[in-house]
Amino acid sequence: MKLNNTFAIGCLVQFYEIDIIEDYIKSVRYSLEDVENKENVIIDICLNMNEDLEKIDRKKITPHEIVERMDVYCDRFDVEFWINNDRLFTIADYRREFNDKFCEQVDVLMWGESDSLIPRQTWEILDHLHTAVKQDTPKYVGFFSTCKMWDDTWKILEHPDFTDKPFIEMDTENWWSLRYNMSQTEMDEINNKVDDLDIQTTNELKFNGCGLVISSDVIKSGANIPKSVFFVHEDTAFLNNLFIHFKGEIPQYIIKNILLVHNRKLPNKRMFIKGQDFEDGDMTRMRKQQYWFRNADKMSQMNAFNTGKQGYTYTWEDVFRDYEK
């Protein structure tokens, strides 16, 4: 298969995610196996070694060992990565800068995520999609289908095999559940059954950041993650910015019957963080234990919803100042 268009997929890897990133890298390489002109897909990976927010537990692993492991994974699958050490660098910062940089180099952008697995069919589908729509709707977003979500507002994104299943809170056993950790093989089995693609269109945008597809013309037009969003909720902020910028005229193409896996609750997702040794492995509790987390989460979210109206713009200085008080 030869691609007619160019793509970039970008992923931020926090140092504590070193135990899970191999599967993501592997899935990206699998997606390129049948692509003749692999140079048409740029794979950008940043390993974030900055410790301004969370410290490496050097009794368990050294920074050098983390980088060495990343080297091994990337060498194995012929992928390069770069390292951020010097500045506080969040998912919002990475994705905003990824958009800015690569929208000038490729036709289509895709947000990777360290706990995701992308479909083997990714580039063939996105190549055909972009070729088909770029004349009439050069500015668009796209999204592959997902698992069973917690309320009906997500139904438009749920895979047909998942959508009629019950949502079971805290369930980790059933393959359709939000907290179930799905393997590459399981995802392949679901996607390989597809003969005819079901691509649906909506102007009522609905997505999260895991696997989001963005035509570069969207970013070139001035829509991006606002700089005021400094921590998380960057996907919500970007969605809100699209509504403000395009006033409901930007389409979202949903590849309804091809699943992209988002393993949100991997037990080894947050490892080697100093002071986070909880036997129950509850990652949410681990993160909320950090003194700054609640403020940063709340303030970044408030900024995400204040993009188009009056309101105070919070910063990291506010996060730490509020804690000190």
How many whole angstroms separate alpha carbon 38 and alpha carbon 29? 10
CA-based nearest residue to 176, from 261, 87, 62: 261
- φ, ψ dihedrals at 245, nearest 5°: -75, -45
What domains, with CATH codes, occur in the chain? 7-324 (3.90.550.10)
* Percent over 70 (pLDDT), the chain: 95
How many whole angstroms separate alpha carbon 242 and alpha carbon 220? 13
DSSP letters along 222-261, please?
T----TT--SS-HHHHHHHHHHHHHTT---EEEEEEEE-E
- Give residue 321's pLDDT band: very low, low, confident or very high (50, 70, 90): confident
Residues near 195 by beta carbon (within 8 Å), at least 6 away in sequence: none
In tens, the pLDDT along 253-282 reads: 999 999 999 999 998 998 999 987 655 556
- Give residue 317's pLDDT band: very low, low, confident or very high (50, 70, 90): very high
Neighbour tally for 76: CB within 10 Å: 12
In tens, the pLDDT along 187-235 reads: 999 999 999 999 999 999 999 999 999 999 999 999 999 999 999 999 9
User: Who wins on pLDDT, 47 or 291?
Assistant: 47
Q: With 90 as the cut, is the pLDDT of residue 289 above it?
A: no
In this prediction, residue 286 carries a pLDDT of 65
Q: What is the dihedral of CA 186, 191, 193, 194, to 10 degrees?
A: 170
Neighbour tally for 150: CB within 10 Å: 9
* Percent over 90 (pLDDT), the chain: 89
In this prediction, residue 283 carries a pLDDT of 60
Kind of pairing between the strands at 199-202 and 141-145? unpaired
For residues 172-187, give the mean pLDDT: 96
In this prediction, residue 276 carries a pLDDT of 79
Element (H, E) at 97: helix 91-102
Strands (E), the chain: 7-14, 41-48, 82-84, 108-111, 116-117, 141-145, 199-202, 213-215, 252-259, 261-262
In tens, the pLDDT along 82-109 reads: 999 999 999 999 999 999 999 999 999 9
For residues 308-320, give the mean pLDDT: 93
pTM of the model: 0.95
In this prediction, residue 323 carries a pLDDT of 61
Q: Supply the mean pLDDT for the chain.
A: 94
For residues 176-184, give the mean pLDDT: 96
In this prediction, residue 308 carries a pLDDT of 85
In this prediction, residue 280 carries a pLDDT of 53
Query: What does the DSSP 8-state code read for residue 156?
Result: G
Q: Hey, which residues does 146 pair with through a beta bridge?
A: 158
For residues 114-125, give the mean pLDDT: 98
In tens, the pLDDT along 20-39 reads: 999 999 999 999 999 999 99
In tens, the pLDDT along 153-162 reads: 999 999 999 9
For residues 275-299, give the mean pLDDT: 75
